[in-house]
Amino acid sequence: MSNLRKLTIETALEGLKAKKFSSVELTKSYLDAAGKSTSNCYITHTPEIALAQAAEADKRIAAGKMGLLEGIPIAMKDLYCTKGARTTAASKILHNFIPQYESKVSGNMFAQGAVMLGKANLDEFAMGSGNTNSHFGSVLNPWRSKKFPDKKLVPGGSSGGSAAAVAEDICVASTGTDTGGSIRQPAAFCGITGIKPTYGRCSRWGVVAFASSLDQAGPFAKTVKDSAIMLQSMAGYDVNDSTSVNKEVPNWSGNINGHLKGKKIGIPKEYRVDGTDQEILDIWAKGAKWLEEQGAEIIEISLPHSKYALPVYYIIAPAECSSNLARYDGVRYGHRTEEKFSSLDEMYEKTRAEGFGEEVKRRIMIGTYVLSHGYYDAYYVKAQKVRTLIARDFETAFTKVDAILTPTAPSAAFEIGANQNDPVKMYLNDVFTIPASMAGIPGISVPAGLSSEGLPLGLQILTKPWDEQTAFDVAQALENAAGFVRLENL
Ligand code: GLN
């Protein structure tokens, strides 16, 4: 096998099964490439874990026992607690945290034979849209603008390291988390596929919490089929997460078909938002045409409350974050100030002032404000009510259509540093992804084409809760039609 790093999960599994190469060989080629890469995708490399897991996988392969991800080298977003492997959430406050337990999702994946190459970079506590809020530095998107080749581009965020690592072929696939778009937007920026499943599909146990009513685990992969294999290995009920739902995990990958005959696809008119690049509108129209050509019926729909999704998210997510992040106080684990303090409160204050970055502090302050006496009803309670209206819009829409097609992000990847001093501009990146997060429904981003600068553009498919199969099916149809060529020969 000439280039092990061009394999998908599907083709790597075939090669491993046919004994064309071993998992140790496959893993070594990725470890080597990941070690040489300068894009800062990994916060921590875990070669000892990877090689031990690969050796175990080879034994199982020899015995003819193969799990869904047997021997496949992946990157794990550094938000998943991994037993014995440092887990930082890209924050100074957790720079020295080594979990004593495994997150449910990473444990599920290891039980299916996954090999962990390392912990992938992200925005601190998953707050951001460019991976520029990491204590461990920015991540470089491997794609280059044709017009401005010297521009260093963001991979998207918050799961930027996970997405860029797949695009750069320094892992076969990876995990992300998506609270408001953190899987779908980086997938779009890096020209790969990423799915946020239905809220409750994957356990949140052991995933460092940002906004618990929104956080969902999900995968990044090179193809739609690979995404389905990944999600199958990650998903499942967990008694330790009261919001995980006891539903069987379907064989999505085995059942994927790109058949659209009789399928109705909705185009929400409210998604033609101001400030969206013309190129995005063009690729969206093209996507609709591709689906129509394959037998789908395209129907204009209305999601009247989606325009409130962004402001509502930026009340609810900070509110939940301010509660979740209260636990980082320097007492039991994580960073503690080395400065002198004369009271417990002073120790907390110094620890938290040193340990959290600017964006995280901003969110804690917004969250504390909207939850405070006198503002709680005006902001938080009202936001929850509007959230229900947003979810109802989707319920109504799904009585008319099987899936909804939208752009994933309002632009292609932007330059590292851009939008950094204008939080609202940064937040606008999530305008197309957040409504689905508020409603808890599945959303998948598929690479659909290139901008005039030669940068990837993604399209998003949304379906009703628990109908990931339709999301995969429509995504497969898009993938077939788009003929998107991944970044080659890095
Ligand atoms: N970009 C959004 C935010 O900053 C979404 C992040 C996420 O999904 N984790 O909150």
Pick the closest to residue 350 from 363, 337, 340, 360 (CA basis). 337
Beta-sheet strand order (sheet of 42-45): 42-45, 115-120, 73-77, 173-178, 216-221, 193-196, 443-450, 456-462, 403-407, 264-268, 297-301
Our answer on whether the CB atom of 180 is closer than 6 Å to any ligand 1 atom is: yes
365 Cα to the center of ligand 1, angstroms: 16
Under a CB-based contact definition with an 8 Å cutoff, are residues 88 and 95 in contact? Answer: yes
Residue 115 within any structural domain of the chain: yes
Q: Which of 207, 422, 430, 438 maximizes ligand 1 atoms within 8 Å of its Cβ, making it the mutation to test the pocket? A: 430
pLDDT at 2: 54
489 Cα to the center of ligand 1, angstroms: 31
pLDDT at 424: 84
Under a CB-based contact definition with an 8 Å cutoff, are residues 463 and 393 in contact? Answer: no
CA 22 vs CA 51, 68, 319: distances in Å = 11, 16, 48
367 Cα to the center of ligand 1, angstroms: 15
Q: How many domains does the chain have?
A: 1
* CATH code of the domain in which 174 resides: 3.90.1300.10
Our answer on whether the CB atom of 82 is closer than 6 Å to any ligand 1 atom is: no
Residue 311 within any structural domain of the chain: no
Our answer on whether the CB atom of 430 is closer than 6 Å to any ligand 1 atom is: yes
* Number of CB atoms found within 10 A of residue 6's CB: 15
Our answer on whether the CB atom of 90 is closer than 6 Å to any ligand 1 atom is: no
Residue 293 within any structural domain of the chain: no
Under a CB-based contact definition with an 8 Å cutoff, are residues 443 and 184 in contact? Answer: yes
Element (H, E) at 193: strand 193-196
Beta strands of 34-166 (E only): which ranges? 42-45, 73-77, 115-120
Q: Which of 129, 210, 315, 428 maximizes ligand 1 atoms within 8 Å of its Cβ, making it the mutation to test the pocket? A: 129
302 Cα to the center of ligand 1, angstroms: 25
Which domain does 205 fall in, by range? 2-261+403-489
Question: Cα(69)–Cα(224) distance, rounded to whole angstroms?
Answer: 15
183 Cα to the center of ligand 1, angstroms: 9
Our answer on whether the CB atom of 433 is closer than 6 Å to any ligand 1 atom is: no
Residue 370 within any structural domain of the chain: no
116 Cα to the center of ligand 1, angstroms: 24
Cα–Cα–Cα angle for 226, 471, 451, rounded to 5 degrees: 75
Question: Cα(74)–Cα(226) distance, rounded to whole angstroms?
Answer: 12
Our answer on whether the CB atom of 128 is closer than 6 Å to any ligand 1 atom is: yes
Question: Cα(171)–Cα(230) distance, rounded to whole angstroms?
Answer: 13
Q: For residue 211, which atom of ligand 1 is closest to its CA?
A: 9
pLDDT at 329: 96
Q: Which of 131, 134, 158 maximizes ligand 1 atoms within 8 Å of its Cβ, making it the mutation to test the pocket? A: 158
Question: Cα(23)–Cα(405) distance, rounded to whole angstroms?
Answer: 38
Q: Whose CA is nearest to atom 4 of ligand 1?
A: 128
Q: Whose CA is nearest to atom 5 of ligand 1?
A: 180
* Number of CB atoms found within 10 A of residue 288's CB: 17
Question: Cα(347)–Cα(355) distance, rounded to whole angstroms?
Answer: 12
Q: For residue 159, which atom of ligand 1 is closest to its CA?
A: 9
Return the DSSP state at 424: H
Residue 450 within any structural domain of the chain: yes
Backbone dihedral region for residue 76 (phi beyond 0: left; psi -120 to 50: alpha; all else: beta)? beta
Local confidence pLDDT in tens for the 490 residues of the chain: 458 999 999 999 999 999 999 999 999 999 999 999 999 999 999 999 999 999 999 999 999 999 999 999 999 999 999 999 999 999 999 999 999 999 999 999 999 999 999 999 999 999 999 999 999 999 999 999 999 999 999 999 999 999 999 999 999 999 999 999 999 999 999 999 999 999 999 999 999 999 999 999 999 999 999 999 999 999 999 999 999 999 999 999 999 998 899 999 999 999 988 878 899 999 999 999 999 999 999 999 999 999 999 999 999 999 999 999 999 999 999 999 999 999 999 999 999 999 999 999 999 999 999 999 999 999 999 999 999 999 999 999 999 999 999 999 999 999 999 988 888 888 988 999 999 999 999 999 999 999 999 999 999 999 999 999 999 999 999 999 999 988 764 4
How far does CA 10 lie from the centroid of its chain? 21
Q: For residue 177, which atom of ligand 1 is closest to its CA?
A: 9
Residue holding tokens 């031990």? 52
Backbone dihedral region for residue 98 (phi beyond 0: left; psi -120 to 50: alpha; all else: beta)? beta
479 Cα to the center of ligand 1, angstroms: 26
Q: Whose CA is nearest to atom 10 of ligand 1?
A: 127
Residues 6+ apart with CB under 8 A from 69: 9, 109, 112, 113, 114, 229, 230, 233
Residue 310 within any structural domain of the chain: no
Active site residues per annotation: 77, 158, 182
Question: Cα(374)–Cα(187) distance, rounded to whole angstroms?
Answer: 40
Q: Which of 78, 91, 182 maximizes ligand 1 atoms within 8 Å of its Cβ, making it the mutation to test the pocket? A: 182
257 Cα to the center of ligand 1, angstroms: 31
CA 239 vs CA 100, 245, 250, 310: distances in Å = 19, 9, 19, 32
Our answer on whether the CB atom of 443 is closer than 6 Å to any ligand 1 atom is: no
Our answer on whether the CB atom of 209 is closer than 6 Å to any ligand 1 atom is: no
Residue 325 within any structural domain of the chain: no
Our answer on whether the CB atom of 216 is closer than 6 Å to any ligand 1 atom is: no
Q: For residue 317, which atom of ligand 1 is closest to its CA?
A: 10
193 Cα to the center of ligand 1, angstroms: 18
Our answer on whether the CB atom of 132 is closer than 6 Å to any ligand 1 atom is: no
pLDDT at 413: 97
Residue 479 within any structural domain of the chain: yes
